[in-house]
Amino acid sequence: MASLDVSGLRKSFGPTHVLHGIDLAVEDGEMIVIVGASGCGKSTLLRIVAGLETATSGSIRIAGREVTALEPAERDIAMVFQNYALYPHMSVEQNMAYGLKIRGLPKAEITRRVAEAAGLLGIEALLGRRPRQLSGGQRQRVAMGRAIVREPKLFLFDEPLSNLDAKLRVQMRAEIRRLQRRLGVTSLFVTHDQTEAMTLGDRLVVMHAGHAAQIATPMEIWARPADTYVAGFIGSPAMNFLEGTLAEGGQAVALKAGPVLRFADGPRAGGEGMPLTVGIRPEHVELAEGGILLPLDLVEPLGSETVLHGRLPGGEALVVKLAGPAPDAPSLPVALPAAALHVFDGETGKRLDP
């Protein structure tokens, strides 16, 4: 159990720059989820922390110890791979004991730790089996077990749940969270699933094209996304973005779609007519008499809620999520509550706060 400090981490594969300077400080016992679209460099980051890839520049410190130049074996970490990477020729028990044997632990201690981890994960009955005789979910548990018995300083997970079916994934997700809390091991968890990210992480790192776009708690990322990428990535259905310009001396935005909305939380700095992007989450759009008329082109009833897709007069798409069923009409009047607006710079996409 330890802290992890990543600073100024860069990585290039030949001419391809994959990571452009990542800084991340993880506290003891914290669970950090790294989330981002495919190819943004999540696995690369994790593998550099593990020592499976070498950093082009930057440093990694685990529990205050500089490990950037060390072999994986010397870092005292454990990793759970997407394909589990169990040793096919060893029984479940041997799989879990392998790392302990290498460390030269006494036999009795190995047996005790393996039994304890097996109990924790409910795989006592599988100890004698080979990996090929296990289901995906069971392999997943064994891979977890192999990590747990090592009692490492750091757990690394690279999309460990993505090969499981939806139901098992939800179950394992909760289980991993409980285990991590209980063992208190500092963890990095890579996923591209935002639900997984929101539910698992103490804090999230939203990665975008090799940059850490935002590092914050799930709620903060949801409530105050740092830029349009993060805003669009977290939340489902994704946030609506509308174009507009700064108006009324910074007090309001003039939307391309027509209305002028006054900011609820104060003026933004910038010249009159500066381009803005205004974001509003679908669940925050309200139905209101006298609002902008939204012609609907798709209605998705999901039972407890309804998702409406329509186009604003300017041609911009707007998605609305309603609690409960939608009124049966070809177009509905909608209002965009000022308090729910997220204001971003129209050019850089960065969040603008009052």
Partner 1 sequence: MRKTVFKGTALPLLLLAPQLAITAIFFLWPAGAAIWQSLLQEDPWGMSSEFVGLRNFTEVLAQPEWRGAAYNTLIFSSAVAILAMGTALFLAVQADKSIRGANIYRTLLIWPYAVAPAVAAVLWLFLFHPSIGLVGRALNEAGIAWDYKLNGNQAMLLIIIAAAWKQVSYNFIFFLAGLQSIPRSVLEAAAIDGARPVRRFWTIILPLLSPTAFFLLVVNLVYAFFDTFGVIHALTGGGPGKATETLIYKVYVEGVQNVNLGSSSAQSVILMVLVIALTAVQFRFIERKVHY
Ligand X SMILES: Nc1ncnc2c1ncn2[C@@H]1O[C@H](COP(=O)(O)OP(=O)(O)OP(=O)(O)O)[C@@H](O)[C@H]1O
Near partner 1 by CB under 8 A, which window of 71-79, 261-269, 279-287, 322-330? 71-79
Contacts with ligand X, residue ranges (CB under 6 A): 13, 16, 18, 36, 38-44, 192
Q: State the amino acid at position 246 in one-letter form.
A: L
Cβ closest to partner 1, residue 50 vs residue 252: 50
Other CB atoms closer than 10 Å to residue 43's CB: what's the count? Answer: 19
Residue 223 backbone dihedrals phi, psi, to 5 degrees: -80, -35
- List the strands of the sheet with 31-36, edge to edge: 77-80, 154-158, 186-191, 31-36, 203-208, 211-216
73 binds partner 1 (CB under 8 A): yes
With H, G, I as helix, E, B as strand and everything else as coil, classify residue 184. Answer: coil
Cβ closest to partner 1, residue 83 vs residue 251: 83
Identify which of 140, 136, 212 has the alpha carbon closest to the alpha carbon of residue 179.
140
50 binds partner 1 (CB under 8 A): yes
Cβ closest to partner 1, residue 180 vs residue 214: 180
Question: How are beta strands 252-255 and 65-66 bridged, if at all?
Answer: unpaired
The distance of closest approach from Cβ of residue 45 to partner 1 in the complex, given in angstroms and rounded to an integer, is: 15
Contacts with Mg ion, residue ranges (CB under 5 A): 43
Q: Could you tell me the two tokens for 335?
A: 């209002």
Near partner 1 by CB under 8 A, which window of 44-52, 235-243, 262-270, 313-321? 44-52
CA distance 341 to 43: 34
Cβ closest to partner 1, residue 99 vs residue 267: 99
CA distance 24 to 4: 8
86 binds partner 1 (CB under 8 A): yes
CA distance 326 to 300: 9
Alpha helices in the chain (DSSP H): 42-50, 92-102, 107-121, 136-149, 166-183, 194-200, 218-223, 228-233
Q: Which of 65, 89, 112, 181 binds partner 1 (CB under 8 A)?
A: 89
The distance of closest approach from Cβ of residue 79 to partner 1 in the complex, given in angstroms and rounded to an integer, is: 5
Cβ closest to partner 1, residue 146 vs residue 281: 146
Near partner 1 by CB under 8 A, which window of 1-9, 16-24, 73-81, 223-231? 73-81
102 binds partner 1 (CB under 8 A): yes
Residue 39 interacts, among Mg ion, ligand X, partner 1, none and using kind-specific CB cut-offs from 5 to 8 Å, with ligand X
Q: Which of 14, 38, 64, 71 binds partner 1 (CB under 8 A)?
A: 71
72 binds partner 1 (CB under 8 A): yes
Cβ closest to partner 1, residue 105 vs residue 170: 105
DSSP 269: P
Cβ closest to Mg ion, residue 207 vs residue 246: 207
| Helix/strand/coil percent split, the chain, to 5 | 30, 35, 35
User: By the criterion CB under 8 A, which residues form the site for partner 1?
Assistant: 50-52, 71-73, 77-79, 81-83, 85-89, 98-99, 102-103, 132, 146, 150
